[in-house]
Amino acid sequence: MTFSILRSRNQTTIPQAVIEALGLRPDVRLVYEIEPDGRVLLSAKTGTFASVAADLGRKMGSPSSSRTRRMR
């Protein structure tokens, strides 16, 4: 099991095993998906912030397409 510690400023260091498993590199966006049972899935997402926001909005059931347009 791999773990990290959440610091006082809500920051943590991503363990090297996770970085390697996800193929992370600087400036890659991370997506957190919260499951109903409390588990959190972490994945790397390529693309723009707007595309990530749109994906998250769809998963949460909100109409994000108009928000995405306003963000541009």
Report how many domains make up the chain.
1
pLDDT at 65: 43
Match 């791999």 to its residue by tokens: 2
Within-domain flag for 18: no
Match 């590199």 to its residue by tokens: 25
pLDDT at 61: 66
Q: What is the pLDDT of residues 29-68, one digit of tens each?
A: 899 999 999 999 999 886 566 666 776 777 666 554 444 4
Within-domain flag for 15: no
* Other Cβ atoms closer than 10 A to 54: 19
Within-domain flag for 12: no
Within-domain flag for 20: no
Within-domain flag for 59: yes
Q: Which domain holds residue 51?
A: 30-71
The maximal CA–CA distance of the chain, rounded, in angstroms, is 42
